[in-house]
Amino acid sequence: MEFTAKEIAEYLKGDISGDPNVKVSGFARIEAGKKGTLCFFANPKYEHFLYGNKADIMIINRDYELKQPLDMTVIRVDNAYSAIASLLEYVSAKKKKYRRHRGWFVRRFFSTKIGKRVSLGDFSYIGRRSSIGDFSIIYPQVYIGEDVTIGKHCIIYSGVRIYPGTVIGDNCIIHANVVLGSDGFGYSHEENGTYKKIEHTGNLVIEDDVEIGANTTVDRSTLGSTIIHKGVKIDNLCQVAHNVEVGANTVMCAMSAIAGSSTVGERCVLGGQSGISGHISIANGTKVGGQAGVITAVKKEDQALLGTPAIDFHQYYRAYALFRKSAEKQKK
């Protein structure tokens, strides 16, 4: 699929310098720009890759002052990083093909509701009384249980398992092998030393514009709902336990986890391999560093935490400095 610089600039509302009719057929990282590709420059540390780049089109910020002329067509936008994200979404939408398979290899029931131009992949299963909104794409080998609701413009990749009663909003992306709505890890410790399973009768609610990475698991609640609010982005290999509530526009990086019945506020960032203990609340805007472990409630908003048990990052660095000095003194 080819695009001209003029078409790209019109879509991004950008200003062109150079040949507006030059065509590109793909994207490339700025360090690997070549003929026929488009690159973007947004991070100053990659500036040395800008000059001498072989790409045909370069997207840069309007306020960036060139130190020397560029031998390519330049499109200036307000925010190059945001522009490339929007452009990738545009190109992806152009490539999508909607098709509905008909036959034994898609199992569905008369009580299911399928919206307009929904794509159903081979060997998928849709349970009774479930519904899929308009323009959603269900890839092959997806299991959708009974009483599941999936909104409009969603993408459900292969191998996803959606347990009964789960609710998914509009514009959600669920990557391969995600499990949604499975039982939480809840047991009653009996007097004889055994563990009795606690039945989970609640469900999982995922609001609009949520993306969940491959091999992530989000459990249903014991009672009520586990809730993933609007705009949350969850990376691969994450775990969200039962009765958890994740606030709007929070980000969870790979292999992070939230234990049962905890509440994470809005705009939070959980670094890779970080953990949130159970039955605590995390204030809005909290940033948890990689491999940090939060075991007590965080009440102050917009705080950055490091270490296990996690503490304020200023305090952590002071403590770490003393730790290093102590080791050096002991060595001497």
* Interval 228-244 mean pLDDT: 98
User: Parallel, antiparallel, or unpaired: how do β-strands 187-189 and 195-197 relate?
Assistant: antiparallel
Q: Which of 175, 200, 229, 242 is labelled catalytic?
A: 242
Residue 104, pLDDT > 50, answer no
Q: Quick check: 1 and 95 in contact, CB under 8 A?
A: yes
The pLDDT tens digits for 124-134 are 999 999 999 99
Active site residue 242: yes
Q: Would the pLDDT of 311 be above 90?
A: yes
**What stretches of 69-141 adopt beta strand conformation (E)?**
73-77, 106-107, 113-114, 119-120, 124-126, 131-132, 137-138
19 within 8 A of 5, measured Cβ to Cβ = yes
Q: What is the pLDDT of residue 323?
A: 85
Q: What would the pLDDT profile of 28-76 be if each residue is shown by its tens digit? A: 999 999 999 999 999 999 999 999 999 999 999 999 999 999 999 999 9
Q: Assess whether pLDDT exceeds 60 at residue 321.
A: yes
The pLDDT of residue 107 is: 74
Domains defined along the chain, listed by start:
3-95 (3.40.1390.10), 106-314 (2.160.10.10)
Average pLDDT, the chain: 93
SS3 content of the chain, % helix, strand, coil (to 5): 15, 30, 55
